Chains A and B, each alone.
Chain A
């Protein structure tokens, strides 16, 4: 989406200290999206959220909960309003909606191997990015890594977007040429 700056995956919404994939406690697997508010609004994401799933679906566990995680009072109010509007449009009461709204104060980054997962199958990309961003935080924050991840994905839109922007990534010439040739 135009206006998305960064994406990260991690754990949030629970009280257990130091969640990890192997010991997630009462947290939920989540995605955190940084966006340019001059291009996108929080309500744009809420609209996409409600379109992307059935609010009647009961998640099998808290780990896989479908939820909005508001980060402040303004987001909380917008999320609640969107839930009420969506329930009404579905002919449901708010209580019948299974999707949750859970305020958060902290987001814990998932392990590095969970970030930009599609890159893991490309040794050359992985080596370049590991050298450029050896730490998990900088790697997770990298939009170049996210776009290269899209290039490895099956999404035609993500691949096309990455190829258009490739010269801006600052890759070594050999690596850029290899990607352009589809190798």
Chain B
């Protein structure tokens, strides 16, 4: 089974909302930077 999850780059809102810190951070507006580091 292929379980890959593909995130469109404009729509990768956090799904981690159970723990209080994760929930608080999930509500902050964010931008994303992506790199390949070798």
Contact = CB atoms under 8 A, between A and B. Distances in A.
Contacts of A169: 19-21
Contact of A69 (B2, B16, B35): B35
Contacts, number: 146
A124 interface: no
A34 B14 contact: yes
B38 A141 contact: no
Interface residues of A, number: 58
A144 B7 contact: no
Interface of B: 2-10, 12, 14-22, 25-26, 28-38
Interface of A: 5-6, 10, 12-13, 18-20, 28-37, 42, 45, 49, 52-53, 57, 59, 64-69, 71-72, 75, 100, 104-109, 111, 132-133, 135-139, 141-145, 165, 168-170
